Amino acid sequence: MDWTILIYKTIFLFIILFVTLLVAMYSTYGERKVAAFMQDRRGPNRAGPFGLFQPLADGVKMFMKEEIIPLTANKKLFILGPSIAMTTALLTGVVIPWGATLKIGGREFSMQIADLNIGILYVFAMVSIGVYGIMIGGWASNNKYALYGAIRAASQMISYELAMGMSIVALILTTGSLSLHEIVEQQQGMHWNIFYQPLGFLIFLTCAFAETNRAPFDLPECETELIGGYHTEYSSMKLGFYLFAEYINMFVSSAVIATLYFGGYNMPFIDQLGLSPNTVTLLGTAFFFLKIFGMIFLFMWIRWTLPRFRYDQLMNLGWKGLIPLAIFNIFVTGVYYFFTELT
Amino acid sequence: MIFLFYMLSAIMIISALLVVFSKNPVNSVIYLIVCFLAMAGHYILLNAQFLAVVHIIVYTGAIMVLFLFVIMLLNLNKAIIPQKSRVTRISAVITGGIFFLVLLAATRQTFEIHARYPFRGDIGLVSEVGNTLFHEFLLPFEMSSVLFISAMVGAIMFGKKDA
């Protein structure tokens, strides 16, 4: 391991961390603006021009609020909950290829922190650990509404993880690789996976909504039934961590969807423009972020359009709708590749 | 590397002991999760990334969530340990000791196996695991999946009251 790579990776890691936090911060602003637009309101417009400093003000407010740990709560686990939620949310960004390679001083630097050969499974593992943040936090609050929220979150996430995993299996059959970098490289030009796996994409998207606890799957924090859901007892920055982790998850899952199904940092027709490789790389990264923002907008759009599911509807959709559909998708993909590889 | 190995081993042993000794079942489950994560770390030290991640997904992400789920639902907040009779306790110690002997004997065998099949760096990577499973061990693999199916069908049969 030589030092330039090590230093580069460290700097890049901090840049990604910073960008993730920044995007998550401005997603809260974006969400309120989108909601306002859909409901014919103005949204935040007091702090700074167009209300742009609103996230900063919210952050300061979160830090200044009184910190309450309920007397009957399990103190250690009460603190552990939001920490897990935040950590696992941030860990996923490590394997996402944010861009192609940059050439600086005759050396190539990959714009990906770790090119694991099992990148997709790593994302999946982090998602499956993420549920502990909610479960432990909800249980440690020692509040029945929080417990209900935690239990709902756990059962929902387990149910939708299955369908999500199966939609990924079909995708792996098409790509033949588990490495996110290779999957992106295969989608050059307009060979985006969404054209090869439209059904898989829809299943994955639905499951991504369920895994991030976003509407219409936000039953764990359903206000009308559960007060605040799993974070009922939380206050101050611990509550902030939970809310923030949701936005980070939304950003990261948008990035994963863009990587898997929309060609990642690939831009159509970019090779024909005759630009220098570094410019192409940077443009690709910008285009990747454009795709991510599009996905985030889709998340918000759906949240403010569709009403919440009922709990039995949620379970029916997961177990009786998505899982058989995902199995069917695997079957069709398998049969297709079996016959095309034979001839 | 060797430092990481000892650190992970220490974490694993301590958390495994805490699983047994902690009074609160929820704490036990959380220590078991820590233990499994440390085990995944060991896999990564062996360059078995695929095994490590699958271990996390299956054990940490699915099975332990179900454990935690059941414990939370049953609200096993306080430790309820019924006092067992002396005979039960003594027989438990004896069976535990015998099991330990068996484990010890099995571990001794690994030295010979290790000598026969030297360690390869790529053994835990996904393509290698897949090739081994689907070429060398295809029949046992398929048999175990049939076993899983029968277990699932059995569970559904138990779940259905008027079947």
Please give the pLDDT value at position A8: 81
Mutation target vs B (from A124, A159, A175, A323; most B CBs, 10 A cutoff): A124
Give the pLDDT band of residue A281 (cuts 50, 70, 90).
Answer: confident
Q: Is the pLDDT of residue B81 over 70?
A: no
CATH placement of domain B1-81: 1.20.120.1200
Q: Is the pLDDT of residue A335 over 80?
A: yes
Mutation target vs B (from A95, A115, A132; most B CBs, 10 A cutoff): A132
Q: Do B33 and A158 touch (CB under 8 A)?
A: no
CA–CA gap between residue A82 and residue A244 (Å, rounded): 10
Q: What is the DSSP string of A37-63?
A: HHTT---S-SSSGGGTTHHHHHHHHHH
Q: Which residues of A, range 173-202, sit inside 8 Å of B by Cβ?
A: 178
Q: What angle do CA A198, A312, A202 make, to 5 degrees?
A: 5
State the nearest Cα–Cα gap between A226 and chain B, in angstroms. 17
Q: Do A77 and B26 touch (CB under 8 A)?
A: yes
Residue B125, both tokens? 């990577």
**Domain locations along chain B:** 1-81, 84-120, 125-163
Structural domain harbouring A311: 69-100+113-342
Q: Is the pLDDT of residue A46 over 70?
A: yes
Residue at A310 is within a domain: yes
Total structural domains within chain A: 1
pLDDT digits (tens, 9 = 90+) for A57-91: 888 888 888 888 888 777 888 888 888 888 888 88
What mean pLDDT do residues A268-279 have? 72
* Count of pairs with CB atoms under 8 A, one residue in A, one in B: 65
What mean pLDDT do residues A144-160 have? 83
Q: Is the pLDDT of residue A201 over 80?
A: yes
Q: Is the pLDDT of residue B149 over 60?
A: yes
Within 8 A by CB and 6+ apart from A45, the residues are A51
Within 8 A by CB and 6+ apart from A44, the residues are A29, A32, A33, A36, A51, A54
State the nearest Cα–Cα gap between A158 and chain B, in angstroms. 7
Contact, A252 vs A91, CB < 8 A? no
ipTM above 0.90, yes or no: no
Using a CB-CB cut-off of 8 Å, the residues of chain A touching B61 are 125, 127-129, 131, 161
Please give the pLDDT value at position B13: 92
pLDDT digits (tens, 9 = 90+) for B3-41: 888 989 999 999 999 988 887 788 888 899 899 989 888
Residue of A77, A117, A150 with shortest CB distance to B125: A117
Residue at A155 is within a domain: yes
| A109: β partners | A102
Query: Is B83 or A168 the better-scoring residue by pLDDT?
Result: A168
Give me the percent of chain B exceeding a pLDDT of 90: 17
Q: Does B53 touch chain A (CB under 8 A)?
A: yes
Q: State which residue of chain B sits closest to A121, comparing Cα positions.
A: B53
Q: Is the pLDDT of residue A337 over 90?
A: no
What mean pLDDT do residues B44-71 have? 84
- Assign A172 to helix, strand or coil: helix
Q: State which residue of chain A sits closest to B44, comparing Cα positions.
A: A116
Q: State which residue of chain B sits closest to A134, comparing Cα positions.
A: B65
Q: Does A122 touch chain B (CB under 8 A)?
A: yes
Q: What is the DSSP string of A107-127?
A: EEEES-S---TTHHHHHHHHH
Q: Is the pLDDT of residue A219 over 80?
A: no
Q: Is the pLDDT of residue B89 over 90?
A: no
Residue at A6 is within a domain: no
Give the pLDDT band of residue A338 (cuts 50, 70, 90).
Answer: confident
State the nearest Cα–Cα gap between B59 and chain A, in angstroms. 10
Give the pLDDT band of residue B97 (cuts 50, 70, 90).
Answer: very high
What mean pLDDT do residues A106-132 have? 81
Using a CB-CB cut-off of 8 Å, the residues of chain B touching A74 are 26
State the nearest Cα–Cα gap between A281 and chain B, in angstroms. 29
Q: State the average pLDDT for chain A.
A: 82
Q: Do A151 and B72 touch (CB under 8 A)?
A: yes
Q: Is the pLDDT of residue A269 over 80?
A: no
DSSP designation for A93: G
State the nearest Cα–Cα gap between A15 and chain B, in angstroms. 26
Q: Is the pLDDT of residue B94 over 90?
A: yes
Residue at A247 is within a domain: yes
Using a CB-CB cut-off of 8 Å, the residues of chain A touching B69 are 135, 151, 154-155
Using a CB-CB cut-off of 8 Å, the residues of chain A touching B53 are 118, 121-122, 124-125
Q: Does A144 touch chain B (CB under 8 A)?
A: no
Q: Is the pLDDT of residue A110 over 80?
A: no
Q: Does A151 touch chain B (CB under 8 A)?
A: yes
Residue at A335 is within a domain: yes
Q: What angle do CA A79, A82, A87 make, to 5 degrees?
A: 115
For residue A304, CA distances in Å to A32, A35, A37, A132 come to: 10, 6, 10, 27
Please give the pLDDT value at position B160: 80
Give the pLDDT band of residue A343 (cuts 50, 70, 90).
Answer: low
Mutation target vs B (from A80, A129, A177, A320; most B CBs, 10 A cutoff): A129
CA–CA gap between residue A242 and residue A183 (Å, rounded): 31
